[in-house]
Amino acid sequence: MRQGNCILLHITQKYILLYCIQWIQKVKEVIMSNRPKVAFSASLGSNGYFGPVNTDVTLVYKNVFINVGDAYQQATGIFIAPVRGVYYFSFFYHSGTKHGTGLALYRNGKHVALTKNNPSTDSPENGGNGLTLLYIWDSENVTVFSGFLINAM
């Protein structure tokens, strides 16, 4: 093969490689743009007070700040995972009463996280918890305060 042909072949390979790199980047962009988006954040509502109660109840966070993907059910206080993936959830409270306070996170009826304050006469208390739940499957129910999809699976 002549030197001129080798140079031409090298240049052609270079352009093909650049084209492939650009094509791969465009495919990545399309994939990323089609990723499911799930995020929500909500609070109890106008005054934030609830209780006292002597039994477990599902808190319904009426004041929804954001609900991307509509996975948080404002009427019931339950999050239903729209896609299988890894999710992060967090919940917080401020307790300024002599009554005990507790918030628990349930996944399909099973307790997975808790934060609580025992009854006392001292100053107000704050508490919170956060956790990552792996492989939440489609339509699993969770009662929570805030959460977002980390990675679709």
Return the domain boundaries, the chain: 1-34, 39-152
Residue 142, pLDDT > 60, answer no
**Backbone dihedral region of 109: left (phi > 0), alpha (psi from -120 to 50 degrees) or beta?**
left
The domain 39-152 is classified under which CATH number: 3.40.605.10, 3.40.50.720, 2.60.120.40, 3.60.15.10? 2.60.120.40
Residue 95, pLDDT > 90, answer no
pLDDT band, residue 101 (cuts 50/70/90) = confident
Task: Report, as an integer, the average pLDDT of 123-127.
Answer: 67
Residue 152, pLDDT > 80, answer no
Q: So what's the pLDDT on residue 88? A: 85
Task: Report, as an integer, the average pLDDT of 99-122.
Answer: 79
Q: So what's the pLDDT on residue 96? A: 66
Kindly report which listed range (47-51, 55-59, 70-74) carries the lowest average pLDDT score: 47-51
Q: Which two tokens stand for residue 142?
A: 């969770």
